[in-house]
Amino acid sequence: MQLLLNIPAVVPANGRAQAVALSVALFLAIPVALRAADKPMPTDEELRKIASAVPAKAAVAPKQPRKLLVFTLCKGYYHTSIPHGAKAVALMGEKTGAFKATISDDIVFFEPENLREFDGICLVSALGEFFWPDNLDKLPPTEQEAAKKNDARLKKNLEDYIRSGKGLAGIHGGCWAFNQTPAFADMLGATFVNHPWNSTESIAVKIDEPSHPVVTAFRGAGFEVIDEGYQFKEPYSRAKLRVLLSLDTARMDMNKPNLRADGDFGLCWVKRFGQGRVFYTALGHNSEEFWNPQLLRHFLDGIQFALGDLPADTEPR
Protein backbone atom coordinates (compact mmCIF):
# COMPACT_ATOMS: atom_id res chain seq x y z
CA MET A 1 0.00 0.00 0.00
CA GLN A 2 1.16 3.52 -0.64
CA LEU A 3 1.28 6.10 2.13
CA LEU A 4 -0.70 8.76 0.33
CA LEU A 5 0.42 11.79 2.29
CA ASN A 6 4.06 11.02 1.51
CA ILE A 7 3.51 11.60 -2.21
CA PRO A 8 4.76 15.11 -3.10
CA ALA A 9 3.26 17.48 -5.60
CA VAL A 10 4.88 17.13 -9.02
CA VAL A 11 5.65 20.45 -10.67
CA PRO A 12 8.34 20.87 -13.37
CA ALA A 13 11.35 22.58 -11.85
CA ASN A 14 11.50 25.28 -14.50
CA GLY A 15 7.85 26.14 -14.09
CA ARG A 16 7.39 25.86 -10.34
CA ALA A 17 7.75 29.53 -9.38
CA GLN A 18 5.55 30.73 -12.23
CA ALA A 19 2.90 28.10 -11.52
CA VAL A 20 2.75 28.90 -7.82
CA ALA A 21 2.65 32.66 -8.43
CA LEU A 22 -0.17 32.26 -10.95
CA SER A 23 -2.14 29.94 -8.70
CA VAL A 24 -1.89 32.19 -5.65
CA ALA A 25 -2.96 35.13 -7.81
CA LEU A 26 -5.98 33.15 -8.99
CA PHE A 27 -7.08 32.72 -5.38
CA LEU A 28 -7.57 36.46 -5.16
CA ALA A 29 -9.96 36.45 -8.11
CA ILE A 30 -12.28 33.74 -6.77
CA PRO A 31 -15.69 35.10 -5.66
CA VAL A 32 -16.07 34.79 -1.91
CA ALA A 33 -19.24 35.58 0.03
CA LEU A 34 -18.13 34.65 3.54
CA ARG A 35 -19.61 36.41 6.54
CA ALA A 36 -17.67 38.75 8.78
CA ALA A 37 -17.22 36.17 11.56
CA ASP A 38 -14.08 34.88 9.88
CA LYS A 39 -12.60 31.50 10.70
CA PRO A 40 -8.85 30.89 10.58
CA MET A 41 -7.77 31.08 6.96
CA PRO A 42 -4.93 29.24 5.21
CA THR A 43 -1.50 30.76 5.62
CA ASP A 44 0.47 31.97 2.61
CA GLU A 45 2.63 28.87 2.85
CA GLU A 46 -0.44 26.61 2.91
CA LEU A 47 -1.85 28.44 -0.11
CA ARG A 48 1.40 27.81 -1.95
CA LYS A 49 1.20 24.11 -1.08
CA ILE A 50 -2.38 23.93 -2.33
CA ALA A 51 -1.48 25.79 -5.51
CA SER A 52 1.40 23.42 -6.20
CA ALA A 53 -0.82 20.36 -5.78
CA VAL A 54 -3.80 21.45 -7.89
CA PRO A 55 -4.15 19.43 -11.11
CA ALA A 56 -2.93 21.28 -14.18
CA LYS A 57 -5.73 19.90 -16.32
CA ALA A 58 -9.22 18.54 -15.74
CA ALA A 59 -10.03 14.96 -16.72
CA VAL A 60 -12.48 16.27 -19.31
CA ALA A 61 -13.38 19.66 -20.72
CA PRO A 62 -16.73 20.96 -19.46
CA LYS A 63 -19.58 20.58 -21.92
CA GLN A 64 -20.48 24.21 -21.23
CA PRO A 65 -19.30 26.89 -18.79
CA ARG A 66 -20.04 25.61 -15.28
CA LYS A 67 -20.78 27.42 -12.04
CA LEU A 68 -20.36 25.70 -8.68
CA LEU A 69 -21.63 26.86 -5.28
CA VAL A 70 -19.05 25.88 -2.65
CA PHE A 71 -21.03 25.95 0.58
CA THR A 72 -19.28 26.10 3.96
CA LEU A 73 -21.84 26.90 6.68
CA CYS A 74 -21.63 24.85 9.89
CA LYS A 75 -24.20 24.45 12.63
CA GLY A 76 -22.13 22.22 14.87
CA TYR A 77 -18.54 21.03 14.87
CA TYR A 78 -16.39 23.34 12.74
CA HIS A 79 -13.67 21.68 10.69
CA THR A 80 -10.69 24.03 10.54
CA SER A 81 -9.85 22.53 7.15
CA ILE A 82 -12.96 24.08 5.58
CA PRO A 83 -11.23 27.24 4.28
CA HIS A 84 -8.44 25.08 2.85
CA GLY A 85 -10.93 22.79 1.15
CA ALA A 86 -13.05 25.61 -0.22
CA LYS A 87 -10.01 27.42 -1.59
CA ALA A 88 -8.66 24.21 -3.11
CA VAL A 89 -11.95 23.43 -4.83
CA ALA A 90 -12.28 26.96 -6.16
CA LEU A 91 -8.71 27.03 -7.42
CA MET A 92 -9.10 23.67 -9.15
CA GLY A 93 -12.03 25.04 -11.10
CA GLU A 94 -10.24 28.27 -11.95
CA LYS A 95 -6.92 26.71 -12.93
CA THR A 96 -8.35 23.89 -15.04
CA GLY A 97 -11.33 25.75 -16.47
CA ALA A 98 -13.65 23.02 -15.18
CA PHE A 99 -15.95 25.47 -13.36
CA LYS A 100 -16.19 28.88 -11.74
CA ALA A 101 -16.73 28.65 -8.00
CA THR A 102 -18.52 30.92 -5.56
CA ILE A 103 -17.68 30.27 -1.90
CA SER A 104 -20.45 31.14 0.56
CA ASP A 105 -22.05 30.32 3.89
CA ASP A 106 -25.24 32.30 3.15
CA ILE A 107 -28.46 30.29 2.90
CA VAL A 108 -29.92 32.88 0.54
CA PHE A 109 -28.25 30.86 -2.21
CA PHE A 110 -30.87 28.14 -1.66
CA GLU A 111 -33.65 30.35 -2.97
CA PRO A 112 -34.75 29.08 -6.42
CA GLU A 113 -33.70 32.22 -8.26
CA ASN A 114 -30.18 31.85 -6.86
CA LEU A 115 -29.88 28.08 -7.21
CA ARG A 116 -30.65 28.28 -10.89
CA GLU A 117 -27.43 30.24 -11.40
CA PHE A 118 -25.39 27.13 -10.52
CA ASP A 119 -24.82 23.74 -12.13
CA GLY A 120 -24.03 22.10 -8.81
CA ILE A 121 -23.32 22.47 -5.11
CA CYS A 122 -20.25 21.28 -3.21
CA LEU A 123 -20.62 20.90 0.56
CA VAL A 124 -17.12 21.26 2.04
CA SER A 125 -17.78 19.90 5.55
CA ALA A 126 -20.90 22.09 5.71
CA LEU A 127 -22.94 20.41 8.41
CA GLY A 128 -25.88 20.55 10.78
CA GLU A 129 -29.39 21.85 10.26
CA PHE A 130 -28.06 25.02 8.70
CA PHE A 131 -31.45 26.33 7.55
CA TRP A 132 -32.52 26.61 11.20
CA PRO A 133 -31.90 29.90 13.05
CA ASP A 134 -29.29 29.55 15.79
CA ASN A 135 -31.82 30.35 18.51
CA LEU A 136 -34.68 28.22 17.21
CA ASP A 137 -35.55 26.70 20.60
CA LYS A 138 -35.71 30.15 22.22
CA LEU A 139 -38.06 31.74 19.70
CA PRO A 140 -41.75 32.31 20.46
CA PRO A 141 -43.95 29.47 19.17
CA THR A 142 -45.22 31.44 16.18
CA GLU A 143 -41.67 32.30 15.10
CA GLN A 144 -40.55 28.71 15.60
CA GLU A 145 -43.34 27.55 13.34
CA ALA A 146 -42.38 30.11 10.70
CA ALA A 147 -38.71 29.09 10.93
CA LYS A 148 -39.57 25.41 10.52
CA LYS A 149 -41.72 26.18 7.49
CA ASN A 150 -38.84 28.14 5.97
CA ASP A 151 -36.49 25.25 6.72
CA ALA A 152 -38.82 22.80 4.96
CA ARG A 153 -39.16 25.15 1.99
CA LEU A 154 -35.41 25.57 1.52
CA LYS A 155 -34.82 21.82 1.83
CA LYS A 156 -37.48 21.23 -0.81
CA ASN A 157 -35.73 23.78 -3.03
CA LEU A 158 -32.48 21.82 -2.69
CA GLU A 159 -34.15 18.46 -3.32
CA ASP A 160 -36.00 19.73 -6.39
CA TYR A 161 -32.82 21.36 -7.69
CA ILE A 162 -30.73 18.17 -7.55
CA ARG A 163 -33.58 15.97 -8.76
CA SER A 164 -34.03 18.22 -11.81
CA GLY A 165 -30.59 17.29 -13.14
CA LYS A 166 -28.06 19.28 -11.13
CA GLY A 167 -25.12 18.01 -9.10
CA LEU A 168 -24.33 17.52 -5.42
CA ALA A 169 -20.77 16.89 -4.22
CA GLY A 170 -20.09 16.23 -0.55
CA ILE A 171 -16.63 16.34 0.97
CA HIS A 172 -16.00 14.85 4.43
CA GLY A 173 -18.38 16.51 6.93
CA GLY A 174 -20.85 17.33 4.17
CA CYS A 175 -22.54 14.06 5.15
CA TRP A 176 -23.53 15.67 8.47
CA ALA A 177 -25.69 18.25 6.72
CA PHE A 178 -29.33 17.94 7.82
CA ASN A 179 -28.43 14.84 9.82
CA GLN A 180 -31.92 14.91 11.34
CA THR A 181 -33.58 14.95 7.92
CA PRO A 182 -34.21 11.54 6.32
CA ALA A 183 -34.93 13.10 2.92
CA PHE A 184 -31.39 14.49 2.74
CA ALA A 185 -29.93 11.11 3.73
CA ASP A 186 -31.91 9.54 0.88
CA MET A 187 -30.48 12.10 -1.53
CA LEU A 188 -26.89 11.76 -0.29
CA GLY A 189 -27.08 7.99 0.16
CA ALA A 190 -26.32 7.51 3.86
CA THR A 191 -26.70 8.81 7.40
CA PHE A 192 -23.54 9.64 9.34
CA VAL A 193 -23.14 7.72 12.62
CA ASN A 194 -19.68 8.51 13.99
CA HIS A 195 -15.95 8.13 13.35
CA PRO A 196 -14.56 5.22 15.40
CA TRP A 197 -11.13 6.11 13.99
CA ASN A 198 -10.04 9.63 14.90
CA SER A 199 -8.35 12.30 12.81
CA THR A 200 -4.87 11.55 14.16
CA GLU A 201 -5.05 7.88 13.14
CA SER A 202 -3.92 6.36 9.88
CA ILE A 203 -6.78 4.71 8.03
CA ALA A 204 -6.31 2.10 5.31
CA VAL A 205 -8.36 2.75 2.17
CA LYS A 206 -9.34 0.09 -0.35
CA ILE A 207 -10.15 0.89 -3.98
CA ASP A 208 -13.40 -0.95 -4.66
CA GLU A 209 -13.44 -0.20 -8.38
CA PRO A 210 -10.00 0.88 -9.64
CA SER A 211 -11.17 1.67 -13.18
CA HIS A 212 -14.00 3.99 -12.14
CA PRO A 213 -13.30 7.56 -13.37
CA VAL A 214 -13.92 9.12 -9.94
CA VAL A 215 -11.09 7.11 -8.29
CA THR A 216 -8.52 6.65 -11.07
CA ALA A 217 -6.38 9.25 -9.27
CA PHE A 218 -5.22 6.46 -6.98
CA ARG A 219 -3.96 4.30 -9.86
CA GLY A 220 -5.62 1.20 -8.48
CA ALA A 221 -3.49 1.03 -5.35
CA GLY A 222 -4.88 1.07 -1.83
CA PHE A 223 -3.39 3.70 0.43
CA GLU A 224 -3.14 5.01 3.96
CA VAL A 225 -3.99 8.53 5.02
CA ILE A 226 -4.28 10.42 8.31
CA ASP A 227 -8.01 11.03 8.53
CA GLU A 228 -11.16 10.07 10.36
CA GLY A 229 -12.68 6.69 9.55
CA TYR A 230 -16.43 7.23 9.18
CA GLN A 231 -19.22 4.75 9.54
CA PHE A 232 -22.73 5.18 8.17
CA LYS A 233 -26.17 3.68 8.63
CA GLU A 234 -29.38 3.50 6.60
CA PRO A 235 -30.00 4.31 3.85
CA TYR A 236 -26.36 3.30 3.19
CA SER A 237 -26.41 0.11 1.13
CA ARG A 238 -24.39 -1.22 -1.77
CA ALA A 239 -27.73 -2.17 -3.29
CA LYS A 240 -28.41 1.58 -3.69
CA LEU A 241 -24.93 3.07 -4.21
CA ARG A 242 -21.90 2.61 -6.44
CA VAL A 243 -19.30 2.35 -3.65
CA LEU A 244 -15.82 3.26 -4.90
CA LEU A 245 -13.67 3.51 -1.75
CA SER A 246 -13.99 1.77 1.61
CA LEU A 247 -11.99 1.06 4.72
CA ASP A 248 -9.63 -1.88 4.30
CA THR A 249 -10.65 -3.60 7.53
CA ALA A 250 -7.90 -6.22 7.18
CA ARG A 251 -5.41 -3.41 7.82
CA MET A 252 -7.39 -1.52 10.46
CA ASP A 253 -7.71 -1.70 14.22
CA MET A 254 -11.15 -3.29 14.47
CA ASN A 255 -11.17 -3.32 18.27
CA LYS A 256 -13.44 -0.29 18.39
CA PRO A 257 -16.83 -0.24 20.12
CA ASN A 258 -20.13 -0.37 18.26
CA LEU A 259 -18.83 -1.07 14.77
CA ARG A 260 -21.06 -2.16 11.90
CA ALA A 261 -21.64 -5.89 12.13
CA ASP A 262 -21.19 -6.39 8.38
CA GLY A 263 -17.77 -4.70 8.29
CA ASP A 264 -18.78 -2.50 5.35
CA PHE A 265 -17.37 0.99 5.82
CA GLY A 266 -17.89 2.83 2.54
CA LEU A 267 -15.92 6.05 2.15
CA CYS A 268 -16.83 7.22 -1.35
CA TRP A 269 -19.73 6.59 -3.68
CA VAL A 270 -21.75 7.97 -6.57
CA LYS A 271 -25.45 7.71 -7.25
CA ARG A 272 -28.30 9.21 -9.21
CA PHE A 273 -31.03 11.26 -7.60
CA GLY A 274 -33.81 11.78 -10.09
CA GLN A 275 -32.04 13.30 -13.08
CA GLY A 276 -29.25 14.62 -10.85
CA ARG A 277 -25.87 13.20 -9.83
CA VAL A 278 -24.45 12.78 -6.32
CA PHE A 279 -20.78 12.28 -5.37
CA TYR A 280 -19.63 11.85 -1.79
CA THR A 281 -16.19 11.25 -0.30
CA ALA A 282 -15.45 10.96 3.42
CA LEU A 283 -11.84 12.06 2.96
CA GLY A 284 -10.80 15.60 3.83
CA HIS A 285 -10.81 16.12 7.61
CA ASN A 286 -7.27 17.45 7.84
CA SER A 287 -5.97 20.57 6.11
CA GLU A 288 -2.95 18.68 4.76
CA GLU A 289 -5.22 16.60 2.57
CA PHE A 290 -6.00 19.66 0.49
CA TRP A 291 -2.45 19.91 -0.77
CA ASN A 292 -2.17 16.26 -1.69
CA PRO A 293 -2.24 15.96 -5.50
CA GLN A 294 -3.96 12.59 -5.64
CA LEU A 295 -6.72 13.64 -3.28
CA LEU A 296 -7.25 16.90 -5.16
CA ARG A 297 -7.53 14.96 -8.42
CA HIS A 298 -10.09 12.68 -6.73
CA PHE A 299 -12.12 15.67 -5.51
CA LEU A 300 -11.98 17.33 -8.94
CA ASP A 301 -13.06 14.17 -10.75
CA GLY A 302 -15.97 13.71 -8.35
CA ILE A 303 -17.09 17.30 -8.81
CA GLN A 304 -16.85 17.01 -12.60
CA PHE A 305 -19.01 13.90 -12.41
CA ALA A 306 -21.58 15.74 -10.28
CA LEU A 307 -21.63 18.64 -12.73
CA GLY A 308 -22.42 16.24 -15.57
CA ASP A 309 -19.14 16.49 -17.45
CA LEU A 310 -17.26 13.33 -16.44
CA PRO A 311 -19.18 10.22 -17.55
CA ALA A 312 -19.25 7.58 -14.81
CA ASP A 313 -21.38 4.56 -14.01
CA THR A 314 -23.72 4.94 -11.04
CA GLU A 315 -25.35 1.52 -11.20
CA PRO A 316 -25.09 -0.15 -7.76
CA ARG A 317 -22.81 -3.18 -7.65
pLDDT of res. 35: 41
Contact predicate 238/266, CB 8 Å: yes
| pLDDT (tens digit per residue) in 120-167 | 999 999 999 999 999 999 999 999 999 999 999 999 999 999 999 999
pLDDT of res. 96: 99
Q: Give mean pLDDT, residues 285-291.
A: 97
| pLDDT (tens digit per residue) in 236-276 | 999 999 999 999 999 999 999 999 999 999 999 999 999 99
| pLDDT (tens digit per residue) in 212-246 | 999 999 999 999 999 999 999 999 999 999 999 99
Reported as a pLDDT band with limits 50, 70 and 90, residue 60 is very high
- What class has domain 2-19+45-307? alpha beta
CA neighbor of 266 nearest in space, from 234, 308, 297? 234
Say which residues have a Cβ less than 8 Å from residue 295's Cβ, sequence separation at least 6: 4, 217, 225, 283, 284, 289
What is the dihedral angle through the alpha carbons of 26, 27, 32, 38, rounded to the nearest 10 degrees? Answer: -160
Reported as a pLDDT band with limits 50, 70 and 90, residue 38 is low
Say which amino acid occupies 139.
Answer: L
What's the distance, CA 260 to chain centroid?
23
pTM of the model: 0.89
- pLDDT greater than 90 at residue 40: no
Domain spans of the chain?
Answer: 2-19+45-307
Distance CA 304, CA 317 (A): 22
